[in-house]
Structure 1
Amino acid sequence: MNSPPLIRQLVEKALYLKRLTPEIEMAINHELSRTGYISDVDYEALELLMSEMDEGRIRFT
């Protein structure tokens, strides 16, 4: 069984909490730096997160 990509898991956590914490943001940035690329699944998850933030449904704390 494959586990979901880490960035997607972090975005799901932010969506569940309805906030983007500094810890989640740092983990996303770390994973992007570590891998050096972004999968289609992770890209779509980040697009969703940014869209939700633009609409005011997710707060940055």
Structure 2
Amino acid sequence: MYSTHAIRKLVEKALYVRKLTPEIEFGINAELTRLGHIPETDFEALELLMSEMDAGRIQSVPLQ
């Protein structure tokens, strides 16, 4: 998943399925670690994801 805007694509997936799965969360963390910084577009996507989670529209799915 090492393409441009990978974090944004993962956030889009979470918004589409209305769930933050462990796989999506791992992918986001892996990209943040790999990049060492957050590009502006990815930062905005993460802000949107967090606000949707705070509003209860996105559910965090625990590891099974």
| TM-score (normalizing by structure 1) | 0.93
Q: Deviation above 4 Å: which 4+ runs of structure 1?
A: none
**Secondary structure in structure 2 of the residue aligned to 1:38:** coil
Q: Deviation of residue 24 (structure 1)?
A: 0.2
User: How many residues are matched?
Assistant: 59
The letter for the 2-side match of 1:47 is E
- Asked if 1:9 corresponds to 2:9, the answer is yes
In 2, distance between residues paired with 1:4 and 1:14?
A: 18
State the match for 2:57 in structure 1. 57
| TM-score (normalizing by structure 2) | 0.89
State the match for 1:47 in structure 2. 47
Identity across aligned pairs (percent)? 64
CA RMSD, Structure 1 to Structure 2 (Å): 1.1
- Asked if 1:35 corresponds to 2:31, the answer is no
Any unmatched runs of 5+ in structure 2? none
Any unmatched runs of 5+ in structure 1? none
In 2, distance between residues paired with 1:26 and 1:35?
A: 14
